[in-house]
Amino acid sequence: TKRYRITLLPGDGIGSEILAVTTAVMKEVGQQLDLQFDFQEALIGGAAIDATGNPLPDETLATCKDSDAVLLAAIGGYKWDNLPNAQRPERGLLGLRAGLGLFANLRPAQILPQLIDASTLKREVVEGVDIMVVRELTGGVYFGQPKGIFAEESGAKRGVNTMVYTEAEIDRIGRVAFETAQKRSKRLCSVDKANVLEVSQLWRDRISALAPNYSDVELTHMYVDNAAMQLVRNPKQFDTIVTGNLFGDILSDAAAMLTGSIGMLPSASLGASGPGVFEPVHGSAPDIAGQDKANPLAQVLSAAMMLRYGLNEPEAGDRLEQAVQTVLNQGYRTGDIYSEGMTAVGCRAMGDALFTALGK
């Protein structure tokens, strides 16, 4: 039996509901493949603020560092929305990413044939979409200095964030992006705002300078405003996209909607070494929390990414992904992906359906 230590971070909102489904199906797959998952839960986000006053307790970071992989649900909610930024749940997530050095965030957006009718876009636009957004995760305007709300002499306040990228930061995310593209359709589009921002000029120069090392990859560049438009107009032109932290945050939500629902999309956050964090692209969905309405599939697919990329157990990842395919083929749909004629289920019933599908 192979054993893996996995830290679970349920966080807030729908987090505990979707994680409960996910750990149940992971245990089943573990039994089938002789893998043992030692799950340990830790606090992050609003739940950690309420219990300890800190959105990322030292103990949580230590537990994560000491595990083979981290499975995170989501953080945030109305209750903490009026706290100053430095004390918000979101700060816990940013601290986790920085603390584990997770500079590369892989966000695949692939439309499943079963869900084409759940997309708000036309069938011919979304059919066959298969995009990988490679988002830089520990730099850019999220972390650049100076930052803060400063008082002028007049007493008027000034809010400041700074978009910064060093050559080394651009090069390391660039290499991940080129290597990702090599394993896919070998097309890489780098997205920036080089027509206005100096930080983007440097970004473009460095990404271009890497290209000769990956001569099998076709590199193009696009401005972020155009990229947002093109993602909706003709998403099939994209294969791998590489971009900075803020642009990647925004574009990955847009890409998510091509696939029908943000409730379907997983992600992997990876560093140069050490455990990765695997989490859905969506947030804590406070509007539906505690109502058994959440779609658990993004979380289950995040666990599949964890098995594949974090633990090198591709067979276990395949089984989870196949179970997702099976339940969709059977017509089970949570509210966010419901279309006419399908079987409406809640979060728990979707979990039961997955469990049954794994047995087949």
* Binding residues vs ligand IPM (CB under 6 A): 76, 90, 93-94, 249
Q: How far apart are CA 47 and CA 221, in angstroms?
A: 41
Cis upstream peptide for 146 (omega within 30°): yes
User: Of the two residues 80 and 203, which places its CB atom closer to ligand NAD in the complex?
Assistant: 80
Nearer to Mn ion, 281 or 323 (CB): 281
Token pair for residue 200? 């983007």
Closest CB 196 distance from ligand NAD, rounded Å = 26
Q: How far from the centroid of its chain's Cα atoms is residue 311's Cα? A: 17
Q: Phi and psi dihedrals of 41, rounded to 5?
A: -90, 145
Q: Of these partners, ligand IPM, Mn ion, ligand NAD, none, which one is at the site of residue 263 (CB under 5 to 8 Å by kind)?
A: ligand NAD
Nearer to ligand NAD, 33 or 83 (CB): 83
3-state DSSP call for residue 198?
helix
Q: Which one-letter amino acid corresponds to residue 177?
A: A
Q: Is 249 a catalytic residue?
A: yes
275-299 CB burial, b ≥16 within 10 A, e <16: bbbbbbbbbbbbebbeeebbbbbbb
Residues of this chain that interact with ligand NAD (CB under 6 A) are: 14, 74-77, 90, 93, 262-263, 279, 282-288, 294-295, 298, 336
Cβ contact 269:95 at 8 Å: no
**∠97-98-103 over CA atoms, to 5°?**
70
Q: How far is the CB of 223 from ligand IPM (least distance, A)?
A: 21
For position 249 contacting Mn ion by CB under 5 A, the verdict is yes
Give least dist CB 105 to ligand IPM, A. 8
The option from Mn ion, ligand NAD, ligand IPM, none interacting with 308 (CB < 5 to 8 A, set by class) reads none
74 vs 210 by CB, closer to ligand NAD: 74
Residue 285 binds: one of ligand IPM, Mn ion, ligand NAD, none (C-beta under 5 to 8 A by kind): ligand NAD
Closest distance to Mn ion from the beta carbon of 75 (Å): 11
142 is catalytic: yes
Catalytic residue among 66, 205, 225, 287: 225
| CB distance 302 to 355 below 8 Å | no
- In whole angstroms, give the CA distance from residue 324 to residue 109: 15
Q: Which residues lie near Mn ion (CB under 5 A)?
A: 249
